[in-house]
Amino acid sequence: MCNDEVSTDYGSYYCSECDVIFHVKCAMKNRNSYEIVENEDKESADVSSITKVLEWNDAGEATVIEHITHIHHLTLSDRVGKYDNKCCDGCLLPISDSFYYCTQCDFFLHKVCVELPKVKQVWHHPCQSSLVLTSNEAFQCLECGYLSRAFAYICEECEQRICLRCIIALTPGAHTCVGHKHPVFLYTENIGVCVACGCNCNGLLRCKDCDFSLDHKCFSLPITSQHKSDEHLLSLTYHDDNSYSESYFCDVCEERRDPNLWFYHCAICDTSAHVDCVLGRHPFVKLGSILEPSEELHEHPFTVVKKIYYYPNCSECGKPCLDLALECTVCNIIMHAECP
């Protein structure tokens, strides 16, 4: 909670399931945040493995696996360059490091996403219930607010979902952050300004050594991203070396941008753009996903599309679909993701 050292000379509270530890004073500071448990005979949640290993290599790595979220076998690979335009179906971030892929369809999973537990405990979640891994459902993340169609952890009590990016950012302990030399720690009750977006936030990842704070939404930003304005990958950038103030503009929306805030940049084309302009409103919904609407809304499934070379008018509100849209090829209609 305070991220200061816990002395073994004194008592402390420790959870072996989530590997978190608290000073006694920190744990009991807020009477509404804890309850005294008389017995601990509660049934534990099902934590059986979500993968089945079919083949191993000589180094002891699982090379071919079955995963509960996919019908086909998945194969281990480290050929990131071959799939640099693909994203992980678990976290929807670009493919990087070791990953598993399906030889029969367009499905990818980072190795770290494959190794996630089926059941997870998150100490700061208000319900204090187990979170269970789920997939193949569209949801809005409780923490970052992004609409997503990826893996999530769902609370068994309140049924709220948290995306994998936020689960990783909100895990206790030291985190490394690209663009900063010191580790950052989660302070759930800290209020301050995020250096990446400039917004005031409640709950930040802060550096103990210098004045550096990130909200968990910016901590989880993709390091690289694509946009139709540039043929190359754009890289997340943490400062602007250009001293000419008249050049501080976004090359996507053509509005002025703050050089002190993070942005995406292409060094080859000298393209710079706001984070939101590059990612769009729904960066974590995979194109081509099939959504099954309720019968009252529509009788056929929708496909998630993004018409980047022309902007069709929404069948519901009549305005152009500039970002993600839902398309029914049977009825030949298209609408904003927010309109149904």
Q: What is the CATH number of domain 287-340?
A: 3.30.60
Helix (H) or strand (E) holding 234: strand 230-237
Question: Please, what CATH class does the domain formed by 224-279 belong to?
Answer: alpha beta
The residue ranges of every structural domain in the chain are 1-36, 51-114, 172-216, 224-279, 287-340
Kindly state the DSSP code that residue 198 receives in the 8-state scheme: -
- Other beta carbons within 10 angstroms of residue 286's beta carbon come to 16
Sign of the CA dihedral running 179, 182, 188, 191: negative
H runs (alpha helix) in the chain? 24-27, 111-114, 164-169, 216-219, 275-279
Nearest to 116 by CA among 69, 78, 54, 174: 69
Query: Which residues in the chain come in under a pLDDT of 70?
Result: 38-49, 240-247, 295, 308, 340
Do the first three CATH levels of 224-279 and 287-340 match, i.e. the same topology?
Answer: yes
Note the pLDDT tens digit of each residue in 254-267.
Answer: 999 998 899 999 98
Write the single-letter amino acid at 36. Answer: I
What was the pLDDT predicted at 246? Answer: 56
What was the pLDDT predicted at 49? Answer: 63
What was the pLDDT predicted at 45? Answer: 43
What was the pLDDT predicted at 80? Answer: 74
DSSP 237-279: ES------GGG-B-TTT--B--TTS-EEEETTTTEEEEHHHHH
Residue with tokens 């602007």: 240
What was the pLDDT predicted at 64? Answer: 93
Which residues on neighbouring strands pair with residue 132, listed in sequence order? 119, 154
